[in-house]
Amino acid sequence: MKTRRLPQTDSIQELARFGDAHDLTDFEGQLEEVTEPVFERQTVIPLNLGSREAEAVKKIAKARGVAEAELIRGWVREKIHTN
């Protein structure tokens, strides 16, 4: 039997599975218009590092328990907020 309630999740995969298995017109009373963007587009900026720089980033990220991209993103945010 199909559920009669919309799922309360931010998971795109979960929402896609739900959409594949249900007809949204059955849930018109539960839908609401959204005026702001739901998903923020990200801009990818290529970053070329020398091998020594890349190894240093990997080492620092590993020591802090974060991904390299997360570490670099944090550094960029720090620099932006201090200027």
What band does 77 get if pLDDT is binned at 50, 70 and 90?
Answer: very high
Domain residue ranges of the chain, discontinuous segments joined by +: 51-82
Confirm if 18 and 7 have CB atoms less than 8 A apart: yes
* 64 SS3 class: helix
Q: Is the pTM of this model over 0.85?
A: no
Q: What is the pLDDT of residues 35-76, one digit of tens each?
A: 888 777 888 999 999 999 999 999 999 999 999 999 999 999
What band does 3 get if pLDDT is binned at 50, 70 and 90?
Answer: low
Closest CA to 22 of 43, 3, 50: 3
Q: Is the pLDDT of residue 1 over 50?
A: no
Confirm if 62 and 56 have CB atoms less than 8 A apart: no
What single-letter DSSP state applies at residue 4? S
pLDDT at 2: 52
